[in-house]
Each structure stands twice: as structure tokens, then as C-alpha cells.
């Protein structure tokens, strides 16, 4: 059974709510064109035959779904009223929660894909296929939708019991609330391990010239992954766990929404340089290993 608590919206919070509206509005203004352009270029100019491209496309879709839900948050915090139905509130709330979950998973998939490409370039080629990537992405979306069912039921009960103007001021504490923090912690741990393994591999096996030319580019994506988790995903997950953090919950939601503006910059704009060079490095490593086998 879900116990509900409500964050009251008094007149003393008017300036704070205005700040929330400005943040969500800025994220919408910046995030919509960035993610739409990134998705268009990925689909039109880059082949979806590589696993990393597939994960990037799904990451862009996740961010776009978040962005299209933000204008109603802007309206809510600017006016203090909710003009739509409770069902619309549920849908918009789920879009935000889905972004945190799906983005953390797709970012981790990209991280694991790069780990396999750098550490196991030969043995991982039959795993790092677009077919497997699309299957993985489909499972992620199915998983996220299944989780939505329980949460939507809980939120619907709350909205039917209280005035619907409390849409984004509600906080439902239920056993399922621990799902998101656990997911984020697991994904963060995977990213930390992948970063350590790739760093060790690059330091141990690349020549000095290769290390100078490629190591910074290769490690940048892993460092940015960790920043994404620790700055945007982790604080909100901790706020869900600890009651004392509840007053800062909306501010942390604002912070978490900014991740959709950085994903295109961190991943798409690294695509032309980092991904191509990394794939070329995979081919070079493969040829070297094949030559070694033939020589033996």
C-alpha cells in the first residue's frame, strides 16, 4: 500500500516556483532542437548497423520524450495550476521518470559497448551487432513500461483523492520507489568498472604514440558518463531515499532534466571523431592480432 505525502505550495514559494519554471523552460528551449537535430542526423547520415549508433538513437528518443513533457511543468510552476486531466499528469510524470531510467541504461550500454570494442575487439564482434542492440533496446523500453503500470496506478489513486492542482507537488512513497535508486546505483557501478578496465587496457597495451592520439578521446566518453550519473542521476535518487532531502526534491528534478541537453553534446558531437577513430582502432587491433596468429 502506498503512503502519500504532498509538498505544499504556499505563497512563500512563488519565487522558487518561478525559478523552476525558468529552468524547465530553458531546458525545453535548448533540449528540443539539440535532440531533434541529433536524432535526424543519426538516422540520416550515420548507419544504424553499429550497436553504438543504435544506443545513441534510443538515447536521443528518450531525451525527446522528456523534453516534450516539460512545457506543462513550466505552466504548472508559473501559474500554480494544472489545466489538464489527472491522466495527463500521470503520462507526463511517467515520461520524466522513464528518462532517468532509460537514459541511465542506454548510457551504460554505450559504455559497455566501448569496453568490449577496446578490451575484447575480436571476441566481441559477434555480440556488438545492430540486431543485438535493437533487441536490447526493445527489452529496455518494455521493462520501463512494465514498471510504469504499478506507478501509474499509485499516482492515479492519489490524484483521485486530492485536488489535481497538486500534480507535480505530490510524492508517493511506496516499495517501488526504491527501484530507481537501485537501478542508478547498479548502472553507476557498471560504468565505474568499465572506466577502470578501459583505462588499464589503454595504459598497458597501446603504444606511446597511440596513447597520445587516442587515449584522451577514448577516456573522455567514460568520464562524461560518470559525470552524468554523479551530477544528474545520483542526487535525485538519493533524494527519493531520504525523507530529509524531500524539500530539495523539485530542485533536483530540475537538475536531472538538464541531462537531456548534454547528451547530444557528449555523444553525438563525439561520434564523428571518437567513434570513427575508435572503430578504426578496432580494425587495426584486429589485423595485428590476426597477423600474430598467422605468424605463429
Per-residue pLDDT 10s for the chain (296 aa) are: 444 444 444 566 688 888 999 999 999 999 999 999 888 888 876 667 788 889 989 999 999 999 999 999 999 888 888 888 878 888 888 888 899 999 999 999 999 988 888 888 778 888 888 899 999 999 999 999 988 888 888 777 776 665 555 677 655 556 667 788 899 999 999 999 999 998 888 777 655 444 434 566 678 888 888 989 999 999 988 887 777 777 788 889 999 999 998 887 766 555 544 344 444 444 444 444 434 333 33
The total domain count for the chain is 1
CA 261, distance to chain mean position in Å, is 11
- Classify the phi-psi angles of 80: left when phi > 0, otherwise alpha if psi is within -120 to 50, otherwise beta: left
- CATH number reported for the structural domain that contains residue 145 in this entry: 1.20.1070.10
Q: Does residue 213 fall inside a structural domain?
A: yes
Alpha carbon of 67 to those of 74, 89, 171, 214: distances in Å? 11, 15, 21, 34
Q: CA–CA separation, 134 vs 254, rounded Å?
A: 30
Q: For residue 100, give the nearest of 208, 37, 177 by alpha carbon.
A: 177
CA angle 137, 257, 25 (to 5 degrees): 125
What are 112's three cell numbers? 559497455
What are 235's three cell numbers? 542526487
- Classify the phi-psi angles of 81: left when phi > 0, otherwise alpha if psi is within -120 to 50, otherwise beta: beta
Q: CA–CA separation, 38 vs 261, rounded Å?
A: 11
Alpha carbon of 178 to those of 74, 185, 283: distances in Å? 27, 11, 43
Q: Does residue 55 fall inside a structural domain?
A: yes
Q: CA–CA separation, 261 vs 30, rounded Å?
A: 6
In which domain, by residue range, is 142 found? 3-286
**Are the CB atoms for 69 and 84 separated by under 8 Å?**
no
* pLDDT at residue number 211: 44
Q: Does residue 291 fall inside a structural domain?
A: no
User: What pTM, to 2 d.p., does this model score?
Assistant: 0.83
How large is the angle between the packed helices 86-119 and 208-227, nearest 10 degrees? 160
* pLDDT at residue number 27: 94
Q: Does residue 278 fall inside a structural domain?
A: yes
Residues 6+ apart with CB under 8 A from 295: none
* pLDDT at residue number 22: 94
* pLDDT at residue number 30: 93
Q: Does residue 293 fall inside a structural domain?
A: no
* pLDDT at residue number 165: 57
* pLDDT at residue number 279: 45
Map residue 171 onto helix, strand or coil.
Answer: strand
Q: Does residue 292 fall inside a structural domain?
A: no
Q: Does residue 126 fall inside a structural domain?
A: yes
Residues 6+ apart with CB under 8 A from 64: 32, 35, 36, 39, 260
Q: Does residue 294 fall inside a structural domain?
A: no
Q: CA–CA separation, 41 vs 60, rounded Å?
A: 11
Amino acid at each position: 500500500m502506498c503512503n502519500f505525502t504532498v509538498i505544499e505550495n504556499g505563497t512563500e514559494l512563488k519565487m522558487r516556483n518561478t525559478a523552476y519554471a525558468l529552468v524547465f523552460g530553458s531546458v525545453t528551449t535548448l533540449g528540443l532542437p539539440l535532440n531533434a537535430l541529433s536524432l535526424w542526423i543519426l538516422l540520416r547520415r550515420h548507419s544504424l548497423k553499429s550497436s553504438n549508433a543504435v544506443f545513441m538513437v534510443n538515447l536521443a528518443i528518450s531525451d525527446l520524450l522528456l523534453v516534450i513533457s516539460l512545457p506543462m511543468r513550466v505552466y504548472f510552476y508559473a501559474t500554480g495550476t494544472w489545466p489538464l486531466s489527472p491522466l495527463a499528469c500521470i503520462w507526463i510524470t511517467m515520461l520524466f521518470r522513464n528518462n532517468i531510467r532509460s537514459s541511465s541504461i542506454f548510457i551504460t550500454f554505450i559504455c559497455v559497448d566501448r569496453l568490449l570494442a577496446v578490451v575484447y575487439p575480436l571476441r566481441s564482434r559477434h555480440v556488438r551487432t545492430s540486431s543485438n542492440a535493437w533487441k536490447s533496446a526493445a527489452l529496455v523500453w518494455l521493462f520501463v513500461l512494465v514498471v510504469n503500470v504499478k506507478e501509474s496506478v499509485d499516482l492515479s489513486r492519489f490524484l483521485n483523492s486530492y485536488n489535481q492542482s497538486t500534480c507535480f507537488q505530490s510524492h508517493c512513497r511506496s516499495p517501488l520507489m526504491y527501484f530507481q535508486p537501485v537501478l542508478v546505483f547498479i548502472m553507476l557501478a557498471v560504468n565505474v568498472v568499465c572506466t577502470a578496465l578501459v583505462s588499464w587496457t589503454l595504459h598497458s597495451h597501446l603504444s606511446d604514440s597511440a596513447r597520445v592520439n587516442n587515449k584522451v578521446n577514448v577516456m573522455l566518453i567514460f568520464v562524461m558518463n560518470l559525470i552524468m550519473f554523479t551530477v544528474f542521476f545520483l542526487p535525485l535518487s538519493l533524494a527519493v531515499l531520504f525523507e530529509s532531502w524531500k524539500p530539495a526534491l523539485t530542485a533536483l528534478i530540475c537538475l536531472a532534466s538538464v541531462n537531456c541537453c548534454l547528451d547530444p553534446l557528449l555523444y553525438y558531437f563525439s561520434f564523428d571523431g571518437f567513434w570513427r577513430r575508435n572503430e578504426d582502432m578496432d580494425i587495426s587491433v584486429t589485423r595485428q592480432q590476426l597477423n600474430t596468429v598467422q605468424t605463429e
